[in-house]
């Protein structure tokens, strides 16, 4: 009967799964000492390290739970009232500058409308690219090369226009650039 138990346990010890955590009151004593006749039958060598590993994992988890229950570290910039008030004043000043128009990413001459125009051009270029690629797949093999070349020319010209618009955003702070005529 002991041989059957050993045979049943041996496949479990060869798996890569971690050992299940056991009730600490039930199995706090090693298996070889918990039974009276255990000295007559040797425990398999694979069982002893497994038990040690379970005990180590338990002690680690208990140590971690003790550390988690201690008070969290407070930083001085969170607890010092003068620092918090100074940060609040700085943030309020930044908010006021934003609302008044003093904060601008691309200079005073650049407006939200110009940035939205650039974003619209980017989105239009992306849609055109996908649309042209879809049309290209539907064409027969002999016409794909010609269509591919014309699509590339069209995409490059739109990309060049987008590039010029983005450059105008960057240069708007340094110099006055006349607006291109609307299409």
pLDDT tier for residue 4 given thresholds of 50, 70 and 90 = low
Query: Do 55 and 114 sit in the same domain of this protein?
Result: no
Long-range contacts from 164-169, C-beta under 8 angstroms, 24+ separation: 165/114, 165/117, 165/118, 165/121, 166/118, 168/114, 169/106, 169/110, 169/114, 169/115, 169/118
Residue 182 domain-assigned? Answer: yes
Average of per-residue pLDDT across 104-115: 70
Lowest mean pLDDT among 24-33, 73-82, 165-174: 24-33
Q: Which residue has the tokens 């060598």?
A: 45
Query: Do 117 and 56 sit in the same domain of this protein?
Result: no
Query: Do 183 and 111 sit in the same domain of this protein?
Result: yes
Report the pLDDT value the prediction gives residue 14, as an integer from 0 to 100: 47
Residue 69 domain-assigned? Answer: no
Question: Structural domain of residue 54, as residue ranges?
Answer: 2-60
Residue 172 has pLDDT above 80, yes or no: no
Query: Do 112 and 183 sit in the same domain of this protein?
Result: yes
Report the pLDDT value the prediction gives residue 170, as an integer from 0 to 100: 77
Q: With a threshold of 0.85, does the pTM exceed it?
A: no
Query: Do 177 and 112 sit in the same domain of this protein?
Result: yes
Structure tokens at 85: 């008030």
Residue 38 domain-assigned? Answer: yes
More confident residue, 52 or 105: 105
- What percent of the chain lies above the pLDDT cut of 90? 22
Residue 171 domain-assigned? Answer: yes
Work out the mean pLDDT of the chain and round it to a whole number.
70
pLDDT tier for residue 99 given thresholds of 50, 70 and 90 = confident
Residue 78 domain-assigned? Answer: no
Report the pLDDT value the prediction gives residue 152, as an integer from 0 to 100: 94
Query: Do 33 and 108 sit in the same domain of this protein?
Result: no
Of 49-53, 105-109, 163-167, highest mean pLDDT? 163-167
Residue 6 domain-assigned? Answer: yes
Query: Do 115 and 51 sit in the same domain of this protein?
Result: no
Per-residue pLDDT tens over the stretch 32-57: 444 444 444 455 554 555 555 555 55
How many alpha carbons lie under 13 Å from residue 72 in its C-beta half-sphere?
A: 5
Residue 108 domain-assigned? Answer: yes
Overall domain count for the chain = 2
Phi-psi region of 66 (alpha: psi -120 to 50; beta: other; left: phi over 0): alpha
Query: Do 56 and 110 sit in the same domain of this protein?
Result: no
Residue 155 domain-assigned? Answer: yes
Query: Do 55 and 117 sit in the same domain of this protein?
Result: no
Report the pLDDT value the prediction gives residue 160, as an integer from 0 to 100: 96
């Amino acid at each position: 009967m002991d041989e059957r138990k050993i045979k049943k346990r041996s496949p479990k010890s060869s798996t890569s799964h971690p050992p299940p955590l056991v009730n600490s009151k039930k199995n706090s004593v090693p298996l070889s000492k918990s039974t009276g006749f255990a000295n007559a039958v040797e425990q398999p060598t694979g069982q002893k390290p497994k038990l040690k590993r379970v005990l180590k994992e338990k002690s680690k988890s208990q140590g971690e739970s003790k550390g988690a229950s201690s008070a969290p570290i407070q930083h001085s910039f969170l607890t010092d009232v003068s620092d918090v008030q100074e940060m609040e004043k700085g943030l309020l000043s930044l908010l006021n500058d934003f609302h008044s128009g003093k904060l601008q990413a691309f200079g005073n001459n650049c407006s939200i409308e110009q940035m939205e125009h650039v974003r619209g051009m980017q989105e239009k270029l992306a849609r055109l690219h996908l649309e042209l690629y879809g049309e290209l797949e539907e064409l027969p093999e002999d016409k794909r090369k010609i269509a591919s070349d014309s699509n590339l020319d069209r995409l490059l010209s739109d990309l060049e226009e987008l590039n010029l618009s983005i450059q105008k955003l960057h240069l708007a702070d340094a110099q006055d650039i006349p607006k291109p005529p609307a299409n």
